[in-house]
Amino acid sequence: MYIYILPVHKSENYALQSIPFTKNISLRDVSKIVVKGRVLERPTRFSISLQNASSFEPDNVVFVYDARFNFGSDSNIIVCNNRNGGIWGSEERSDYFPFVQKEKFKVKIKLNHSHYEIQVGSHIWTFDHRMPIYDVDTLRIDGNVELYDVQTK
């Protein structure tokens, strides 16, 4: 487990139109990420990743929030995980699935000292830090959504 003292910094907003969205960030400067968008029709999945490198499948994904509508054997499930040195960790799954095709959504990811706090609607989920958050240099959002706004605070 990793524990951090997180600074408070100014907000940045990114008006978006294209997927995948990638943005160079440093979690030394960010303590909250807010993603607003709309789920497309007949979605399979979308993901929000904090990773090292902007490529599609980097060796190090410090945190991923993956909403799976109909992906492989998964249906309407949230999966959080990490990937260290090209190897995926143990998935943490939630049956709470607030996303609906063609509907708007807002996901808030707050960085706490020992974990991430993910909020969608009134539901809050936590995921412990498994890797150093300061390894993150890229925010990546991909999948069957259109994005309206991404804020880093």
Domains delineated in the chain? 12-152 (2.60.120.200)
- pLDDT tens, N- to C-terminus, the chain (153 residues): 444 444 444 445 555 557 999 999 988 777 899 999 999 999 999 999 999 986 667 899 999 999 999 999 999 999 999 999 999 999 999 999 999 999 999 999 999 989 999 999 999 999 999 999 988 999 999 999 999 999 988
pTM: 0.87
- Say if CB 47 and CB 118 are below 8 A apart: no
Cα 105 from Cα 122, distance rounded (Å) = 12
Q: How many CB atoms lie within 10 A of CB 14?
A: 13
Token duo for residue 18: 């294209």
